[in-house]
Amino acid sequence: MRTHTAKLVAALSIGVAAQSWAQQVENPVPCNAPGITVLPYGGTSSCTFTSTFLEHEFLAVGAPGTVVRLAIAGTSGGVVPAVSVFDLTTQAFLTLSDPATGNAVASPVALTTPGGVQFSPPDGEYVIQVSESGLDNTGGYELSLACASGPCDSDGVAPPDPTPPSVPLETVMADTLAPAVDGDAFTFLGNAGSVVRLAVAGGAAGVAPLVEVRDPSGASLAPLQSAFATPSAVDLAVAQTGLHTLLVYEAGHDLTGAYSFSLSCVAGACDSDLDGFLDPDPIAVAYGGTQPPEPERTTGLSSALDVDAFSFAGAAGTTVRVALSGVSGGVAPTFEIRDPSGAIAQAPTSCPTPCSVDVPLGTAGAHRLVIHDTGFDNAGRYQFTLTCQAGTCPAGLPALAPVCTGGNVTGCRDNCRLVPDMSQADVGGVGAAAPADGIGNACQCGDVSGNGRVTTADATLITRSLLVPPTAALAQPALCNVGGTSACTTADAVILTRGLLVPPTATVLQACSPAFK
């Protein structure tokens, strides 16, 4: 083992300074062999042993309290990589462990199949050493280096690396694992006491995403690692409020391709847009009458990984009946019911054909009805009826928490669930003199002028913006959609005009993308 005297900052300035230091692995780093390769967190490198006796070295920098993940795979010539990690300050080898179990592994560790190791790096420079384990093969291998948790700093110079991209709840995220040892990192804000459902699907070529979630302290949430060979979901019980890290690898580190995932709040209070204000309560439904798929939208399960939540008022000692069926798209819905504490009152029940299930309730208060496609592989419409079968069920809807105002973040609800709205401003609603309606300015669909209210001036602006050439520009184009279509059209202007008549002859819908789902 050679002692390296060149500092990492100087090395970074030679040949790799233009690279992005985002933790999501999208950075191919040229392999310097012979020589040393500077490998930042979020970097991948493809190398070749041209001689059986070569040893390749990769220089990185660490910080106390950080957990680092290394993935590596032989790619040609029967190469079986052997890996060790050397602390340049103490001149000692670091302890390596199996990411799946946390158990220590011998160093150097020979990876006969594609895999990885994790370790806690020193405060300073360290070197990853890779050799051919049997010293009898020449050929190629690939490796990636990712910071799994802690103060990630690729070059040892402030500021630390950028935070991985944040994932809003109720939104499907998609990415690609390439090369096969690639690992992607995301973050989301978890609220203590909530339950978040993670639904994952591989997109191509047999890719089976392997997902791990770490809480703000760096501890892995149970299940510690989940492999999704087929579309499915796991529930994450959030114990700490704060930024959580979600890591995605290919389960065998041997395939490349696309994947997608979603995070949905199925119990407790969550913050979808990371603005510090809790989400509004789920859409409230009353007993009796068939509910159309997702009353707030027209598309039902808008993706195969979509998860919908509704709330209803329950009373102890009553029995409610859920009648549920798929309507289109091959959807076979599954439902569950959670009581006010978040505990399961009715375990997930699949309805591949129309079903009717009676559910006894043991507590009083707002219950949550959660619905998704059974296989997380179909998008489309469903419908359900909720009726009271025994006991005296509350006739009204669950009471909504008041909208957050004045910086208050407890015991109140966010006025815009899907877009950050730090001011929680709510000037008005639909009409020039409309009072505040609980919908924030940032998500008041139809208010393309951005003044906080929906007026005939907004209809005029939409019409003029669609002329060729346009004679007006929309201050808030994302708020245009009030009719349920995906684009801003003259139909939206017509709906606004008719919706503002007295009495109105059309309904201005909260159908724009920033609105509550």
* Packing angle, helices 490-499 and 456-465, rounded to 10: 170
Does the domain at 172-267 match CATH 2.60.120.380? Answer given as yes
Dihedral sign, CA of 459, 465, 471, 476?
positive
Tokens of 394: 């509350």
**What is d(CA 302, CA 330) in angstroms, rounded to the nearest whole number?**
13
Domains of the chain by residue range? 8-149, 172-267, 283-390, 415-517
**What is d(CA 515, CA 125) in angstroms, rounded to the nearest whole number?**
47
| Domains 8-149 and 283-390 in one fold | yes
**What is d(CA 229, CA 279) in angstroms, rounded to the nearest whole number?**
32
Spatial neighbors of 501 by CB under 8 A, at least 6 apart, are none
pLDDT for 294: 63
253, 115 contact by CB (below 8 A): yes
Q: 322: burial class by Cβ within 10 Å (0-12, 13-18, 19+)?
A: buried
Q: Give CATH for domain 8-149.
A: 2.60.120.380
Q: Give CATH for domain 283-390.
A: 2.60.120.380
**What is d(CA 456, CA 473) in angstroms, rounded to the nearest whole number?**
16
What are the strands, taking DSSP E only, across 191-282?
195-202, 209-214, 226-227, 232-237, 242-250, 257-267
Do the strands 43-49 and 27-28 form a parallel or antiparallel pair, or are they unpaired? parallel
Q: Which of 106, 129, 107, 124 is nearest to 54 (CA)?
A: 129
339, 397 contact by CB (below 8 A): no
70, 99 contact by CB (below 8 A): no
Half-sphere exposure of 2 (CA within 13 A, CB side): 11
pLDDT for 401: 81
Spatial neighbors of 410 by CB under 8 A, at least 6 apart, are none
Question: 369 pairs with which residues across the strands?
Answer: 310, 337
What are the strands, taking DSSP E only, across 277-350?
283-284, 290-291, 307-314, 319-326, 333-338, 344-350
259, 204 contact by CB (below 8 A): no
Tell me the backbone φ, ψ of residue 93, rounded to 5 degrees: -80, 140
Dihedral sign, CA of 254, 259, 263, 264?
negative
Q: Decide: helix, strand or coil at residue 241.
A: coil
pLDDT one digit per residue (tens) for the chain, 517 residues: 333 333 222 332 222 222 222 335 467 899 988 889 999 988 899 999 998 888 999 999 988 889 999 999 999 999 999 999 999 999 999 999 999 888 999 889 999 999 999 999 999 999 999 999 988 899 999 999 999 988 888 877 778 888 888 888 888 899 999 999 999 999 998 989 999 999 999 987 789 999 999 999 988 998 888 999 999 999 999 999 888 999 999 999 999 999 999 999 999 988 878 788 888 888 889 999 888 766 555 568 888 999 999 999 999 999 999 999 999 999 999 999 999 999 999 999 999 999 999 999 999 999 999 999 999 999 999 999 999 999 999 988 888 788 887 667 777 888 888 888 888 889 999 999 999 888 899 999 999 999 999 999 999 999 999 999 999 999 999 999 998 776 899 999 999 999 999 999 999 988 888 886 5
Segment holding 127, helix H or strand E: strand 124-132
Half-sphere exposure of 363 (CA within 13 A, CB side): 14
Please state whether the peptide bond connecting residue 99 to the residue before it is cis, i.e. omega within 30 degrees of 0: no
Q: Which of 385, 388, 397 is nearest to 291 (CA)?
A: 385
* 328: amino acid identity, one letter: S
CA 272 to chain centre: 10
